[in-house]
Amino acid sequence: MSSFAIDFRDVRKTYRTRRGAEVNALNGISFQVGAGEIFGFAGPNGAGKSTAIKSLVGLVKPDSGSVAVFDHQAGTRPAKQLIGYLPEVTLYHEFMNPLELLKLHASLAGVASQDRESRCEEALERVGLWERRASRLSEFSKGMKQRFGIAQAIVARPKLLVLDELTSGLDPQAQATLLDLLVQLKEQGLTIFFSSHHLREIEKICDSVAIIHKGYMKVAGPMTEVLAEESLTRLQVRFKESFNPETSELPWQKDRAGQYSVAVENSETVPLLRSLEADLEEVVSVQSQRRGLEELFHRLTTEQAEVPA
């Protein structure tokens, strides 16, 4: 028995195009999500995020490997009973009103008939749509539809919430509202698996993160560890007048006081200082500088991208 909410192990999935070409959507990805975490899943378009998410909710069957949800094989009835899922850009049955459709989802999820009304009310209150319960879904804005999507995902009180591109196409205010909602849901003990292109929001609210590119898992783990491994050392030095750092390959930056600074990988700090020993007047400061998720994402998805991590 593992204690993971989600457990991907060596999952592979290949699609065949109509012309017979093979597209490797997932190339043996493995990662785990702990219970009660908010997990951010990032990657460029076509990286394999949606395939991984669909494998998790049972819409796609992996060719090999295993996906488990709280120790139940993904796609099975016990696993599905634990998941609330919000797909990317879904057109709901727009002829219905939110309350009708929510009741339908609650009954499909097996919520007892005597509890359905209260669960629907609770879910709509939570996303701020109770006042609009009698309006047609076709009258809703995109942000309201996403909020309804969260309501349908949480109506059966799942243990795991899977959200695919929750905030794409929303204005900043709607994004902030939804992110606050996710934090509140986490505080109630839900595990939230959340894919997004918006790396700042992942960095802001997620406990763990994974970056996938061309079907390969580039990095996965707790946010602090992932970013700590990527930390740099920022050196601030004063050179002897005889030395011109602009001839160096490093991108030295000069400030008004005539000091130069550069950020280098931790492992390169000592060799660099040794190589500059003869030209250095003074080392003003040595500081550890954390890279942001955006920088890490950019580096992992452009540099030798086709090489497995």
Q: Which residues here bind other proteins, judged by CB under 8 A?
A: 15, 54, 57-61, 77, 80-81, 83, 85-93, 95-96, 104-105, 107-110, 149, 152-153, 162
Q: Between residues 94 and 171, which has the closer beta carbon with respect to other proteins? A: 94
Given the complex with other proteins, which of 136 and 254 has the nearer CB atom?
136
Q: How far is the CB of 4 from other proteins (least distance, A)?
A: 19
Long-range contacts made by residues 225-229, C-beta under 8 angstroms, separation at least 24? 226/293, 226/296, 227/290, 227/291, 227/292, 227/293, 227/296, 228/290
Class of residue 22 by CB neighbours under 10 A (exposed 0-12, middle 13-18, buried 19+): exposed
Q: Any idea what DSSP says for residue 48?
A: S
Q: Looking at residue 301, what DSSP letter applies? A: H
Which is closer to other proteins, CB of 89 or CB of 283?
A: 89
Closest CB 72 distance from other proteins, rounded Å: 11
Displacement of CA 296 from its chain's centroid (Å): 13
Minimum distance from CB of 104 to other proteins (Å)? 6
Contact, 238 vs 284, CB < 8 A? yes
Report the C-alpha gap between 225 and 221 in whole angstroms. 7
**Least distance between other proteins and beta carbon 277 (Å):** 60
CB of 94 to other proteins, least distance (A): 9
CB nearer to other proteins: pick between 39 and 297? 39
Q: Among residues 119 and 291, whose Cβ is nearest to other proteins?
A: 119
Question: 278 in helix, strand or coil?
Answer: coil
The single-letter DSSP state of residue 267 is G
